């Protein structure tokens, strides 16, 4: 039974929940530094089995093609172009069903552990259209047309996967449907990991010489991910991720990440060095594989990529992008190792090249310079620690009004009550507070929560990620999914009274900027306050402090 239970907190959770906000933050952060989220061991086994099932099902799809499929002959076909095409489309289907990123307890989803299709195939569930007033595709809730578009995406992927040799006629419907369904609900577009998989599908459509385009996509993922980590946020991400790793479990190693546990939980020089090394590694993968000719340099690039993605996967980070990392590793072999003679320049001056410039250069560039305008996923700012986020504060039991929404998941504590007693549930949800506070951007919360409500003790604190998981059926670190648009959609359906629901929204730090913008809104009365916080000042804070201490 111990396999099913999280590691107990070093404090009594119910008593902890009645403490002042700063004291709650301090205790939770001290516990996270040594124990992480305290994930039940069985969860790791579930993800291992899910990863194995993902790979096995890819083999099944490949068996539909002559000459492919079968574990006994996998060495002969696993890097073939058709096998790669089916890997990309299968990964898109897997993610779009809600089985990949955002699955399970590590994203605040306990019962059911998956949202995805359980929401996207149900009329009346909440959605986030790009243009809310757009005829047919706008609105706050899903229509039968929205359901039909999503179902058509699923059908298109399955049609490709069962095709003996998929061609342009198979890929074109999918390439057209994904942006259309995204126009109706950007949640689905992001859940499909469209910035990666859809762009590669467009390569399959645009030219029979698609290998260069697919290489360009993969290189952009590494390059922008590395560039986005050139900030002061990433060292705190290294601390949070390593403290939660099921591999790095040694207490002395985790203490090395912090200046002086438990009193000073800012990143140590060791953690900062690890962050710089990780950034250099990610950039090096892109640079080496972009310019490596056939020969030893290819193996250097492959080795760097394997080390990078093995570290990420072994950490089992919150959000669990495990299958996505597996596809990234597979792409190294199917694109760079199997076809070293192909260059991204082989795309030539074509419509595909124009699309790649937009998706791989312009969109990420704007997303880094003006992050309020572009999702961190489209900006390819993966695990940089510099994300938008929100905190939702429900007065008393006003959160029960969320039951007026059509969802597949109940209130977070109602999910947990199926498995644990209330103290254990409170302890788990409280660790989410620590996760947020320990990132550099989270150090804005102590003073912003005080601006939002007079007495935090009267409010139920919930991270916007959990709200998005409950209401939208998918969440993966993108605060733009639980900003004012979602608040407005919820308010129209639930009718919170003034003061019953207050939200704190914090935006990412722009590349080259020195501050982070914030807003506070009341669900009923609208905007309450807005401003900016100096990042350099936040670096002096402990996660739970409202004032700065010396460097």
Q: What distance in Å separates the CA atoms of residue 51 and residue 190, rounded to the nearest whole number?
A: 21
The secondary structure element, H or E, covering residue 516 is strand 515-522
Pick the closest to residue 64 from 152, 200, 160, 197 (CA basis): 160
Count of C-beta atoms within a 10 Å radius of residue 43: 20
pLDDT of residue 30: 96
> Residues 529, 385, 214, 475: is their CA dihedral positive or negative?
negative
pLDDT score of 550: 42
Spatial distance between the Cα atoms of 303 and 75, rounded to a whole number of angstroms: 19
Percent of the chain whose predicted confidence (pLDDT) is above 70:
99
Domain boundaries, the chain: 389-538
DSSP letters for 150-169: HHHHHHHHHHHHH-SS--HH
pLDDT digit string, tens, across residues 473-519:
999 989 999 999 999 999 999 999 999 999 999 999 999 999 999 99
261-284 tens-digit pLDDT: 999 999 999 999 999 999 999 999
54: which 2 tokens?
């993902």
pLDDT digits (tens, 9 = 90+) for 288-324: 999 987 778 899 999 999 999 999 988 888 888 999 9
Rounded to 10°, the helix 422-438/464-471 angle is 120
Residue 207 pLDDT: 83
Tell me the average pLDDT of the chain. Answer: 94
Q: How would DSSP label each residue in 216-231?
A: HHHHHHHHHHHHTT-S
- Give the model's pLDDT for residue 3: 66
Distances (CA, A) of 88 to 11, 91, 166: 45, 5, 12
> Is pLDDT above 70 for 332?
yes
Cα separation, 55 vs 396, in Å, equals: 46
- Pick 408 or 172 by higher pLDDT: 172
pTM: 0.95
With contact defined as beta carbons under 8 Å apart, do 91 and 214 qualify? no
Give 70's pLDDT tier (boundaries 50, 70, 90): confident
Separation of alpha carbons 479 and 390, rounded Å: 6
pLDDT band at 2 (very low <50, low <70, confident <90, very high): low
Q: pLDDT digit string (tens) for 184-219?
A: 999 999 999 999 999 999 999 988 889 999 999 999
Cα distance between residue 22 and residue 259, in whole Å: 20
Residue 551: its pLDDT value, please?
Answer: 46
pLDDT of residue 316: 86
3-state SS assignment for residue 262? coil
Block residue for tokens 């989270």: 442
Asked whether residue 182 carries a pLDDT value surpassing 90, the answer given is: yes
């Amino acid at each position: 039974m111990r396999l099913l239970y999280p590691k107990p907190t070093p404090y009594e959770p119910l008593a902890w929940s009645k403490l002042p906000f700063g004291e709650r933050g301090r205790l939770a952060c001290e516990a996270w530094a040594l124990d992480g989220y305290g994930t039940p061991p069985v969860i790791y086994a579930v993800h291992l089995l899910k990863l194995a099932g993902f790979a096995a099902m890819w083999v099944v799809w490949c068996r539909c093609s002559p000459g492919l499929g079968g574990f006994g002959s996998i060495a002969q076909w696993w890097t073939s172009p058709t096998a790669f095409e089916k890997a990309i489309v299968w990964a898109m289907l897997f993610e779009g069903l809600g089985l990949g990123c955002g699955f399970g307890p590590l994203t605040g989803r306990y019962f059911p552990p998956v949202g995805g299709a359980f929401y996207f195939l149900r009329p009346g569930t909440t959605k986030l259209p790009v243009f809310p007033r757009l005829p047919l595709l706008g609105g706050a809730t899903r229509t039968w047309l929205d359901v039909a578009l999503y179902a058509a995406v699923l059908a298109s992927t399955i049609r490709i996967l069962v095709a003996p040799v998929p061609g342009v006629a198979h890929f074109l419907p999918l390439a057209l449907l994904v942006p259309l369904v995204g126009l109706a609900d950007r949640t689905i577009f992001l859940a499909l990991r469209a910035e990666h998989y859809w762009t590669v599908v467009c390569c399959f459509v645009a030219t029979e010489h698609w290998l260069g385009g697919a290489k360009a996509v993969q290189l952009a993922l590494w390059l922008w991910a590395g560039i986005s980590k050139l900030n002061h946020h990433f060292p705190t991400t290294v601390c949070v991720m390593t403290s939660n790793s099921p591999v790095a479990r040694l207490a002395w190693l985790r203490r090395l990440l912090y200046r002086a546990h438990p009193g000073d939980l800012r990143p140590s020089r060791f953690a900062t060095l690890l962050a710089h090394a990780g950034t250099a590694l990610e950039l090096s993968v892109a640079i080496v594989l972009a310019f490596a000719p056939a020969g030893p340099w290819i193996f250097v690039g492959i080795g760097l990529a394997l080390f990078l993605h093995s570290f990420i996967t072994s950490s089992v980070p919150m959000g669990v992008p495990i299958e996505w990392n597996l596809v990234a590793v597979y792409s190294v072999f199917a694109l760079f190792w199997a076809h070293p003679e192909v260059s991204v320049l082989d795309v030539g001056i074509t419509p595909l090249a124009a699309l790649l410039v937009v998706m791989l250069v312009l969109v990420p560039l704007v997303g880094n310079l003006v992050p309020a305008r572009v999702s961190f996923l489209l900006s390819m700012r993966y695990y940089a620690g510099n994300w938008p986020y929100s905190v939702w504060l429900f007065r008393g039991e006003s959160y029960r009004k969320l039951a007026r929404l059509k969802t597949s998941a109940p209130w977070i504590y109602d999910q947990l009550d199926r498995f644990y007693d209330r103290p254990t549930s409170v302890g788990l949800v409280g660790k989410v507070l620590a996760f947020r506070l320990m990132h550099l951007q989270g150090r804005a919360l102590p003073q912003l929560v005080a601006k939002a409500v007079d007495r935090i003790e009267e409010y139920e604190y919930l991270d916007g990620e959990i709200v998005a998981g409950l209401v939208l059926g998918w969440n993966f670190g993108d605060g733009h999914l639980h900003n004012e648009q979602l608040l407005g959609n919820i308010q129209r359906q639930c009718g919170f009274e003034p003061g019953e629901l207050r939200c704190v929204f914090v935006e990412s730090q722009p590349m080259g900027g020195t501050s982070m913008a914030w807003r506070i809104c009341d669900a009923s009365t609208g905007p309450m306050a807005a401003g900016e916080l100096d990042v350099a000042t936040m670096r002096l804070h402990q996660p739970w402090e409202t004032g700065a201490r010396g460097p």
